[in-house]
Structure 1
Amino acid sequence: MTDENKALARRWYEEVWNAGNAAALTELLAPAAETHGFPEPAAALHGAAAFSERLKEFQRSFSNINVHVDEVIAEGDTVAVRWTARMKHTGEGLGIQPTGRDVTLPGSSFLWMKNGRITEGWESMDLTKVRRQLEAA
């Protein structure tokens, strides 16, 4: 099961984030999935529809999002992913007027899987680094 869960985690980043495939979002997230910390610590999101809305907000601020999976570690139903996102600031993200700058966002995720779907996710990302990149513009 560990290899299948690693593959599921990789699909999440490739299909949902890099390809922007909304159908994959509902396929990969369990109906009652909880996600935490995206894009910053905030109230948990429940289900694919809530995550989709938050993702759309993020995509209005940043375009050309590409998430590179740097490392995946899995044990049982738990998967840890270290990733690096590169994107362009084209909207009013993080309260800063669009700069057109390319930025890099390092982060990590802990994902819990059951029956081939993500049931819970905790995100940790360095938005301070992104703010510094934007403010330097």
Structure 2
Amino acid sequence: MQTNNPKNVVLRFNREVIEDGNRSSFEALMAPDFVNWTAPDASLRGGENMWKTFDGVLRPALSGLHVVIHDQLLDGDKVTTRKTLRGKHIGPLLGVEPTDQPLSIDVIDIVRVRGGQYVEHWGINTLSAVIAQLSSK
């Protein structure tokens, strides 16, 4: 596997960071000037807040967190990935108590990769819809 191939960098991030919670992989894959354009305001756009989303929110709430990658498209230095995050809801998730039910969050990410690292991120996901559905039960 070519380690600096942008698609492989994104695949590695999904496996080692999101699924495994590997902090050293996260640090290796995030450029110091990383910007998450999806964050709600400028103070939350750095890499550390992305780490907190996975390690502090999703991984504690979802047992067996697994990323299913459906599609990846490469355009220059940008990788678009359509994926689903799956796990069993075993811990609080954004104020919703555990249901012990399987959950799926659909995601479309665009990541700009430079030198084997994430430089920019844009994305949409169905987490708010999942939370709304859980809250109505």
Band of TM-score, shorter chain: 0.7 to 0.9
Report the counterpart of residue 33 of structure 1 in structure 2.
Answer: 34
Report the counterpart of residue 42 of structure 1 in structure 2.
Answer: 40
Return the offset for 1:129. Answer: 3.9
5+ residue gaps, structure 2, are: none
Residue deviations 1:97-136 (CA, integer Å, cap 9, x gap): 1111111111110000111111011121012442355346
8 Å contact 1:82–1:107 — kept in the other structure? Answer: yes
User: What is the DSSP-based 3-state SS (H/G/I as helix, E as strand, rest coil) of the residue aligned with 1:94?
Assistant: coil
User: What is the DSSP-based 3-state SS (H/G/I as helix, E as strand, rest coil) of the residue aligned with 2:5?
Assistant: helix
Q: Is 1:86 matched up with 2:72?
A: no
5+ residue gaps, structure 1, are: none
Q: Is 1:51 matched up with 2:50?
A: yes
User: What is the DSSP-based 3-state SS (H/G/I as helix, E as strand, rest coil) of the residue aligned with 1:100?
Assistant: coil
8 Å contact 1:101–1:134 — kept in the other structure? Answer: no
Range that drifts further, 13-22 or 71-80: 13-22
| Aligned mates of 1:105, 1:53 — CA distance in 2 | 17
| Aligned mates of 2:97, 2:20 — CA distance in 1 | 26
Return the offset for 1:84. Answer: 0.8
Structure 1 consecutive aligned stretches of length 4 or more whose deviation exceeds 6 Å: none
| Aligned mates of 1:104, 1:54 — CA distance in 2 | 16
Return the offset for 1:81. Answer: 0.4
Report the counterpart of residue 73 of structure 2 in structure 1.
Answer: 73
User: What is the DSSP-based 3-state SS (H/G/I as helix, E as strand, rest coil) of the residue aligned with 1:7?
Assistant: helix
TM-score (norm 2): 0.84
Change (3 A) 1:118 1:85: same
| Aligned AA (2:96) | I
Aligned residues: 132
Give the fraction of aligned pairs with identical amino acids, expressed as a percent: 24
8 Å contact 1:103–1:133 — kept in the other structure? Answer: no
Change (3 A) 1:136 1:50: closer
